[in-house]
Chains A and B, each alone.
Chain A
Amino acid sequence: MIERYEIRLSGSGGQGLGMAGLVLAEALALEQNMQAVMTQAYGPEARGGASKSEVVVSQVDIHYPKAISPDFLLALNPESFRKFGNDTKPDALVLVESTAYQGGYALQTDRIYCVPMVEIIMKLSGRQTAVNAVALGVLAEMLDFVDASALERVMVRRFPRSFEAANRQAFLAGRQYMLEKRQEDLHPRRFAEDVLDSGCEDLELHQSEE
């Protein structure tokens, strides 16, 4: 029974965080018959820098529609990780683009996954445009209440036909990466360390700047 689970998707405005939030929330609300409310950054902060969308999920009525202290954080760039990471829950699940993890954060959680989402999409298509679909694929494997096929159905519905193949490939690549990693090690902390060994900085907690 999920009473209230708060998901924040952050990155640079333009990386498709609004669309990712919409796909996730619509899949949960319409395909999985849960309650879901989606909000997103509005105004100048929706472009460049640190931008976000948020999805609150529940199996009962949702009153306050925004995240108060996220249970799940996606950060696709360093600015958003710095800006939106600090109010996450002590046991939050954090998914960071590997190149965005620069250390010096005041996060309490040790459940931090660094995943090279940009590298995955660049290898696949040579362009960053569907990095949000990669992120959704990774997320679908991290959150057990998210049904990957529901996300796929909404992606097909919400995007123009010409984007369908590219989005599906990106989504599957994100899922695939996580499925392979999971077989290696199910423990997130250890897993994060494994990944960090191959590029990210040390995961030790730092009391840092804001």
Chain B
Amino acid sequence: MVAPQSAAAAAKGGSAPSPRGEWQFLQGNEACALAAVAAGCRFYAGYPISPSSEVAEYLSSLLPRCGGRFIQMEDEIAAMGAIIGGSLAGLKAMTATSGPGLSLKQENLGYACMAEVPCVIINVMRGGPSTGAPTSPAQGDIMQARWGTHGDHPTIALTPGSVDEIYRKTIRAFNLAERFRTPVQLLLDEINGHMREKVWVPAAEDIEIVNRTAPPPPSPGYLPYRLDNKLVPQLAPFGTGYRYHVTGLDHGEDGFPTNDPKERARLHKRLMDKISKFEEELEDYERVDVEDADTLLVAFGSTARSAMGALRTARSQGKRVGLFRPITLWPFPEKAFRQAASRAKRILVAEMNLGQLILEIERLTAPGQEVSGVQRSDGEPINPLQILERL
């Protein structure tokens, strides 16, 4: 298990262990499915893809038993479309996929950003390009998660490390999706998606659940994208007496397409602002031994576990090594990273790809700081020794 979060990180997104609940021994994908149901997810549509298929497998059994719906769709694109429909009808909705599936979902993902439809996309990452290696670990979708769909759009993506954290961050993914009415991606990988370990499953009444806010009562003049001092609209569930239009085109308050430059500019700016203005609320990270670190490791997901292993050995050898582990990957916790890196002369970014997160880190480092990567794309995990030999 990854070491306990720092108090600051716990306050910002990690939940304190609740007194009531039980320990269970779960697989990562299984924990994700259980947490989704606990978070209130009642609609799943997906197309099986390794290494994410167990999420669908478990939900196909769990959802019908709690009044939810599970649909295996004809393909990845349709699955993304179906969860947008399910969410617009008022249910908390999700899908699960891997890199190649996420490629196919991008158009509809953009639609969900534009139409402001809450939904959760579980991406148990693999490599690529194309079908790559379906059963091997990789972290290939760091930039696809951020920029895969076209146009300026906000992105929220979370990357848990342990199975326990997968449980907690799946719930958080739903809460953030509902709170900001936007798609939220949860990035796992073949290692933490498939490994099994102890998970604290809190009692239902101890789980913090965020639900989308209710719209004003139905009226002939209902404007779905009307905002009252808030950046997030209050769309009514379809089929509950409201009549309105949803589109992927630039639209006004009534939801119909508009060519008015002012309205379009206002829409684009608001879509970005509704996330960027709340970066502190979204910030979620772990910092270990950064206070005196002259070498700072940056790693996320299962690779961060290897980095922690390397850090512990390096520290026992008297080396001043620290770790910055982003848990919210997008928006990247810039401020927290800069603080963690303030004393570091060297920054080492470990990731199972040929250099994706390192681009963001290079953008955030000060002149004089040396940035390099520990990278691997051969389908084998980065192990602690590989990181250690670079420290």
Contact = CB atoms under 8 A, between A and B. Distances in A.
Interface string B295-331: 0000000100110110010000000000000000000
Contacts of B3: 61
A179 interface: no
B66 interface: no
A22 B384 contact: no
B309 A37 contact: no
Contacts of B385: 68
Contacts of A22: 25, 196
Contact of A42 (B23, B135, B312): B135
Given A29-B197, A64-B384, A65-B191, A42 B51 contact: yes
B245 interface: no
B25 A25 contact: yes
Contact of A25 (B191, B192, B196, B309): B196
Contacts of A64: 305-306, 309, 383-384
Interface string B126-143: 000000001110000000
Given A63-B305, A64-B306, A65-B191, A36 B381 contact: no
A30 B25 CA distance: 7
A26 interface: yes
B50 interface: yes
Contacts of B25: 22, 25-26, 29-30
A42 B194 contact: yes
A37 B197 contact: yes
B351 interface: no
Interface in A34-88: 35-40, 42-44, 61-66, 68
B190 interface: yes
A61 B1 contact: yes
Contacts of B231: none
Interface residues of B, number: 29
A153 B2 CA distance: 27
- The main secondary structure of chain B at its interface with chain A is mixed
A33 to B, nearest CB: 9
B169 to A, nearest CB: 18
A65 B198 CA distance: 13
Nearest to B380: A66
Contacts of A37: 195-197
Nearest to B303: A64
Contacts of A29: 23, 25, 197-198
Interface in B276-295: none
> In the complex, which of the residues B305, B381, B384, B385 has the most CB atoms of chain A within 10 Å of its own CB atom?
B305
Contacts of A40: 194
A39 B305 CA distance: 14
Interface residues of A, number: 21
Given A25-B196, A29-B197, A29-B198, A35 B1 contact: yes
A178 to B, nearest CB: 26
B120 to A, nearest CB: 24
Contacts of A65: 191-192, 195, 197, 302, 305
Interface string B370-391: 0000000000010111000000
Nearest to B307: A63
> In the complex, which of the residues A29, A61, A64, A68 has the most CB atoms of chain B within 10 Å of its own CB atom?
A64
Given A65-B302, A66-B381, A39 B198 contact: no
Given A26-B25, A35-B198, A43-B50, A63 B191 contact: no
Nearest to A44: B135
Interface in A1-47: 22, 25-26, 29-30, 35-40, 42-44
A25 B136 CA distance: 23
Contacts of B192: 65
A43 B194 contact: no
Contact of A38 (B197, B305, B312): B197
B383 to A, nearest CB: 6
Contacts of A35: 1, 197-198
B384 A63 contact: yes
Nearest to A40: B194
A36 B51 contact: no
A37 to B, nearest CB: 5
A63 B314 CA distance: 14
Given A35-B1, A61-B1, A62-B1, A68 B196 contact: no
14 contacts: A22-B25, A25-B196, A29-B198, A30-B25, A35-B197, A37-B195, A39-B195, A42-B135, A42-B194, A61-B3, A63-B305, A63-B306, A66-B191, A68-B383
Interface of A: 22, 25-26, 29-30, 35-40, 42-44, 61-66, 68
Give 5 closest A-B pairs by Cβ, nearest first: A43-B135, A63-B309, A26-B25, A63-B308, A38-B196
Interface of B: 1-3, 23-25, 50-51, 134-136, 190-192, 194-198, 302, 305-306, 308-309, 312, 381, 383-385
